[in-house]
Amino acid sequence: MRRLCTFYLDELLFGIDVDAVQEVLRYQAMTPVPLAPAVITGLINLRGQIVTALDLRRRLELPERPHDLLPTNVVLRSSTVGASLLVDAIGEVVDVEDESFEAPPETVQGMARELILGAYKLPDRLLLLLDLKKTLEIGTEVQA
């Protein structure tokens, strides 16, 4: 049995271990970071802690978020570097059975294929399990 915090990106359902989540916050104003990789949207001051905000849509090479949709911050628990994942909407905490875990679907392509560990079949949809460690490993691609 595994407990996952779920969230939505472009109508897809993703999950990460609930123990990796510190808190969930509505959109926060961000300070841009010059010359940062495109997936780094900016920095958030969270009660004195500087948190780097990563746009998961960009990280997974999904279409850009509509301008009228403000992202939600999923702040990750960390002893060293603060990080927040920008998602479209937060879902529920779900318990999934290990037996329902499968390899990523063949339809998942590109960077998303590298960052998804696999999928859980839920009664009404597929839950994609994100590899948090790989997701947070940002390359040196610079923003245009």
In a domain, 12, yes or no: yes
CB burial readout 16-33, b (16+ within 10 A) else e = beeebbbeeeeebebeee
Please state, in angstroms and rounded to a whole number, the distance separating the CA atoms of residues 14 and 120.
10
Instruction: Name the residue range of residue 11's domain.
Output: 2-136
Please state, in angstroms and rounded to a whole number, the distance separating the CA atoms of residues 71 and 57.
10
In a domain, 117, yes or no: yes
pLDDT above 90 as % of the chain: 72
Predicted confidence (pLDDT) at residue 28 exceeds the cutoff of 60? yes
The confidence score (pLDDT) of residue 3 equals 97
Across the range 26-51, mean pLDDT stands at: 92
In a domain, 92, yes or no: yes
Q: Say how many domains are in the chain.
A: 1
Question: Are β-strands 126-130 and 12-17 bridged in parallel, bridged antiparallel, or unpaired?
Answer: parallel
In a domain, 103, yes or no: yes
The confidence score (pLDDT) of residue 142 equals 43
50-96 pLDDT per residue, tens: 999 999 999 999 999 999 999 999 999 976 778 999 999 999 999 99
CATH number reported for the structural domain that contains residue 27 in this entry: 2.40.50.180
In a domain, 144, yes or no: no
